[in-house]
Amino acid sequence: MPSPMKAKHQRLVLISIAFIGLLAAGLIAAYALRGQASYFYTPGELAAAEVEPGQAIRLGGMVQTGSIKKQADGVTIDFIVEDGKGTVPVRFSGITPALFVEGSGVVAEGRMDRAGFFVADNLLAKHDENYVPREMKDMTSADVKKVAGTVAQP
């Protein structure tokens, strides 16, 4: 006759199995959301994603250094968003956020036009994970080099 399992051990095993199953299901579901739950396309993903012109999307990446060009009307700017796998030219009319500078992250809301321009209605500045004091903006550590060009006078 098999010795009966203690009740609390039975509960522990049952709850552990149920919890691990549930955790796996939740994490797999979250992982599967990958495409849908992403807040924006990067230029590299956008090239592969076959987005229709006119469809509302968000585009995120780094503002290419030296690419911000003010247009003649004074409120429109053109710049290039890059992610190392591709580049997308962007046009935006309006007031840019304070952290919008060349070499830093940006998320643009808008749509592609037929000419391959991304026409943005709204710009969001994306802060990266680096926190550097103002006085140390010229430091040469690898972390800061990674985001070279973010040096700006606030």
Partner 1 sequence: MHRGNKGRCRYPSAIDCSGKLTQRSLMHGFANPTRFLSIARPLTPALMVTGVIMVAIALFLGLFNAPADRLMGETVRILYIHVPAAWLGMAGWTSIAIASLVELVWRHPLAGIAARASALPGAFFCALCLATGSIWARPTWGTWWVWDGRLTSMLVLLFLYLGYMALADASQKDAAAGRNGTARVAAIFGLVGAINVPIINRSVVWWNSLHQPASITMGKSAIDPAFLWPLGMAVIGFSLIFGAIILMRMRTLLADIRIEARMRRLAAA
Residues that bind partner 1 (CB under 8 A): 8, 11-12, 15, 19, 22-23, 26-27, 30-31, 33-34, 37-42, 60, 97-101, 104, 107, 122-137, 143, 150-152, 154
Nearest approach, Cβ of 141 to partner 1 (angstroms)? 9
Do the Cβ atoms of 130 and 147 come closer than 8 Å?
yes
Nearest approach, Cβ of 139 to partner 1 (angstroms)? 9
4 — phi, psi (to 5°)?
-65, 140
Which helix (DSSP H) or strand (DSSP E) does residue 25 occupy?
helix 7-32
Nearest approach, Cβ of 1 to partner 1 (angstroms)? 25
Do the Cβ atoms of 26 and 69 come closer than 8 Å?
no
Beta carbon nearer to partner 1, 80 or 107: 107
Strand duo 87-93 + 105-112: pairing: unpaired
Tokens 């994306």 locate to 126
Nearest approach, Cβ of 45 to partner 1 (angstroms)? 8
Beta carbon nearer to partner 1, 23 or 75: 23
Of the candidates 78, 96, 95, the one whose C-alpha atom is nearest the C-alpha of residue 87 is 78
